[in-house]
Structure formats: C-alpha cells, structure tokens
Amino acid sequence: MEYRRLGSSGLKVSELSFGSWVTFQAQLDDSKALECIRTALDHGVNFFDNAEVYAGGEAEAIMGRVFKKLGLRRVSYVVSTKFYWGLHEGANERNTLNRKYLMQAIDGSLRRFQMDYVDLVFCHRPDPHTPMEEIVRAMNDMIVQGKAIYWGTSEWSADQLMHAWQVADRYGLHKPQMEQPQYNMFFRERVEREYERLYSELGLGLTTWSPLASGLLTGKYNAGIPKGSRASLPGYEWLAERTITKERLETVRRLHDVAVDLDCSMGQLAIAWCLKNAHVSTVILGASSVAQLGENLEARRVVAKLTPDVMERINSLLGNDPHVRK
Ligand code: NDP
C-alpha cells in the first residue's frame, strides 16, 4: 500500500481506504464489518470513513465495536465522521452546521465510536444559513478540545472553501485541511477543474467518494438490476434513478474493452483511474462483501498499466474531460 499526504498536512493516509455508507448495518453486521476491516488492514489500509447519519448512527457504533474488538493502537488507524443532516427532527438538530448542533454532534459520535477523538471531522454539506465564522470556530474548537485532529468539508464549492479558509486565516483558527467530493469517471468537473487552484493555494487534500458510482462502474448493472445490489435495496430507488442512465451504461460497456486489454476487472480499472489523479489523497472504497473489497484493493496493481496512451483512450471514451469545452 502506498500512503499519501492529506494535502499539505503531515498526515499520511493509505491511497485506498474503506467507507461504511449504505453497507454497515444494512449489508454488513458486526462480524462481516469486522472481516472487511481486517481485510482492509491486512492490505495496509489505515483510513476508515464514517458519518453521523450513516444508518442513523449505527455505522459509527459498528465501526467502534469492531476497532475495540481488534484492540489496535489508536494511533495506527485514522477514523472520520461528518455532520450536517443530524439524527433528530428539531430545528437545531437537522440540516445545519450551527454551533449548538456541531458541539453536541461530536460528543454523540465519540460516544458511539467509544473513542476519545476522531482524526478527521467533516462538514457533510455546506450550510448557507449559518455564518461562516460560526462554523469555522465550532470546527476549530473541536480540534482545540482534542475531540478531532483535522477538519474539512464535503461537497462544498471552491468559493465556500476559500471563504472558510480565509476566515480561519484571519482569526488564527485551524483551517479546513481536506474536502470529500464525489470523484469517478462520471463526476470529474469539481475535482479536476473547480478545485484546481485550491491544491496549491490552500494545500487541500481530497478523500474522494463513490469511485464505482455506487457499483455502476463494475458493469453489474449492464443487464438490469441484480437482486441484492445497492440499486435494488429498499429506500435507494432515488439512487438507482439518479445513477443508472442509458448513456452511462453505454459508456461502461465501451470501457469494458479497455479492462479486458489491461487484464483487470472493470471496477479495478475505474478505481485505478481515480488513483492516477495526484490530487486525490485517498480513494474511499465501498464494498458489501469481503470478496468485493479484496477485488477492489487489487486495483492498485492496475495503476502502472494506465500509460498516457491508455488514459487518452479512456478520456476519449468518456468524452467528459472538464478541460475540453464542448
Ligand atoms: P462505490 O461507488 O465504490 O460503491 C460501492 C458499492 O458498489 C458496494 O457497496 C457494492 O454495492 C458495489 N461494489 C463494490 N465493489 C464491487 C465489486 N467488486 N463487484 C460488484 N459490486 C461492487 O463507493 P460508495 O458509494 O460506497 O462510496 C464509498 C464511501 O465513500 C462510502 O462508504 C462513504 O464512506 C463515502 N461516501 C461519502 C459521501 C459524502 O457525501 N461525503 C457520499 C457517499 C459515499 P452492492 O454490492 O450493494 O451492489
């Protein structure tokens, strides 16, 4: 496993990491989650992603129990959580980043994790209804209180990120160190174009999500929605509708030939393609079984095969290079 710096910070994260959205509780109970986490650790993964809202807090509780059972030194792994949607319906408990919500949210997460601190804490979405200074101070205070080590954002615009950074800079507060955007063969604009100047100017690191576009990029949906797959899960109809389009399925079918030529699976090609981007600190993998995770972790071996010619071939098949204006 290679380790990359989280932007300009000194923290090293494994270039492939493991997340818990959808899977923890719904598809992976404690013992299966433990098997997956152990597999990831055996491959050198040191970063595990989570959020308050995943399975209504249960994903944090499962991960916490697993790490307790594994009995590892706390410094040997990196854990994250994210706040915004909340767990309750109250005016100050959902869809907010106000100080009152954030300060109790971190305590709730630490209780569920049974940990003294999380390494990375994210503002899961922007909140236009809370002043930036209030958000930045609350995130800074979590770090000062020893409850988190670094803070960052998820799906914030470049302007919002720049604003947060400037507020932190003005008041000498901890700055946002990382962003968690969607990044895969279908979602490129933000990472490859919108954030471009933030890497050098702010030293921003990226922990990117959905490298397989929820599984679409494995080719598993080419012939319909398989039973038990994410798109078939009750409550995820919206995801299936949003993700699986005729145009994308055609692209996946076309890309399949590249995977065959490189002697890898379609999913491994898609993950390796994300790893090729040097601005990505870590690609967060999702998996509903140890077998999937094992296959995905082997994607590292494909990176060396992605020569400039192959990348160009993929680029023209995708037809969505953000630097090429149509
Ligand atoms: P992917 O796009 O890689 O999708 C993972 C899913 O694809 C799996 O759960 C599985 O679903 C299917 N899959 C994975 N590998 C294979 C394989 N080898 N063969 C067949 N099917 C496979 O990643 P996620 O969308 O899960 O995102 C990864 C992580 O990123 C999340 O766990 C979370 O931590 C984070 N995230 C953050 C977000 C944010 O807003 N900040 C939003 C979303 C995710 P199945 O078997 O059920 O079909």
Ligand 1 atom index nearest CA of 215: 7
The HSE-up count of residue 223 (CA atoms within 13 Å, CB side) is: 2
298 lines ligand 1 (CB under 6 A): no
Q: Which residues pair with 123 in a beta bridge?
A: 83, 153
Question: Which residue type is seen at 222?
Answer: N
Catalytic residues: 54
210 lines ligand 1 (CB under 6 A): yes
The model's pLDDT over 135-185, given as tens digits with 9 standing for 90+, comes to 999 999 999 999 999 999 999 999 999 999 999 999 999 999 999 999 999
212 lines ligand 1 (CB under 6 A): yes
Give the pLDDT score at 325: 72
Residue whose Cα lies nearest atom 25 of ligand 1: it is 210
* Averaged pLDDT score across all residues of the chain: 97
Query: 323: Cβ–Cβ under 8 A, 6 or more apart, which residues?
Result: 192, 193
Q: Which residues pair with 184 in a beta bridge?
A: 187
Would you state the structure tokens that stand for residue 193, as one six-digit string? 């174009």
285 lines ligand 1 (CB under 6 A): yes
User: Which of 21, 39, 293 most suits a substitution to test ligand 1, by most atoms within 8 Å of the C-beta?
Assistant: 21
- CB-CB contact of 168 with 176 (8 Å): yes
The pLDDT of residue 123 is above 90: yes
| pTM for the structure as a whole | 0.98
What is the arithmetic mean of pLDDT over 304-311?
98
Query: 312: Cβ–Cβ under 8 A, 6 or more apart, which residues?
Result: none
d(C-alpha 181, C-alpha 248), whole Å: 20
- CB-CB contact of 266 with 255 (8 Å): yes
Ligand 1 atom index nearest CA of 226: 48
Which stretches of the chain are DSSP H helices?
A: 30-42, 58-70, 99-113, 132-144, 158-171, 189, 196-202, 237-243, 246-262, 266-275, 290-297, 308-318
Q: Is residue 121 classed as helix, strand or coil in its secondary structure? A: strand
Torsions phi, psi for 19 (to 5 deg): -115, 170
The HSE-up count of residue 187 (CA atoms within 13 Å, CB side) is: 19
Residue where the block lists tokens 């040191």: 46
Give the pLDDT score at 94: 97
The pLDDT of residue 326 is above 70: no
Q: Is residue 284 classed as helix, strand or coil in its secondary structure? A: strand
46 lines ligand 1 (CB under 6 A): no
Residue where the block lists tokens 């030194």: 73
The model's pLDDT over 30-41, given as tens digits with 9 standing for 90+, comes to 999 999 999 999
The model's pLDDT over 204-240, given as tens digits with 9 standing for 90+, comes to 999 999 999 999 999 999 999 999 999 999 999 999 9
Q: What percent of the chain has pLDDT over 70?
A: 100
